[in-house]
Amino acid sequence: MGKSEIEKIQKLGKKKKLKKLLKYLATEQDEGVVEAVFEAIGSIKGPDAVAELCRFMRSEEVSIRRMAAKALTVAAGYEDIEKLRHFADVETDEEIKSMLTSAAVSLSETAPKEDIA
C-alpha cells in the first residue's frame, strides 16, 4: 500500500465519490487501504454513505464491521440514531457495540429538541 493510494482515496472522499470508493471495497485486500476507504465513506456524511455503511455492518467479519461502525459514527446524523441503536443491539463484539451506543447517545444529547417526541 502506497501513501499515494491513501491520498487518492482521501480525495475521493472529499469529492464525495461514493461509487468509486465502493469499487475499492469490492477488490482491495490490504487492510490499511480498506480502512482508508471506510474513513473516506464516513467523511461523506450523506444518506447514501450511511446506507452503504449499514450494509457492511451485516458482514460476518468483525474487522469489517469494526471499520464500518467507526465510519458510521462519523457519517451518522440525528436521523440515523435508530440505526446506530439497532446495530448496537444486534452486535456481538463489545468494542463495536460500545462505539455505536456512544455515538447514538451523543447524537441524542445534541439533537434539536423539536426532533424529540
Domain ranges of the chain: 3-115
pLDDT of residue 2: 59
pLDDT of residue 29: 83
Distance in angstroms (rounded) separating the CA atoms of residues 50 and 29 = 22
- The radius of gyration of the chain's CA atoms, rounded to the nearest angstrom, is 14
- pLDDT means over runs of 10, the chain (117 residues): 83 95 88 94 95 96 97 96 97 97 94 63
Q: At what angle do helices 31-44 and 47-56 cross, to 10 degrees?
A: 140
For cell 449499514, the residue is 54
pLDDT of residue 28: 77
Mean pLDDT of the chain: 92
Distance in angstroms (rounded) separating the CA atoms of residues 58 and 110 = 27
pLDDT of residue 57: 97
Spatial CA neighbour of 82 closest among 114, 117, 43, 56: 117
Q: Structure pTM?
A: 0.89
pLDDT of residue 111: 77
**Reported CATH class of domain 3-115:** mainly alpha
CB neighbourhood size of 69 (10 A):
26
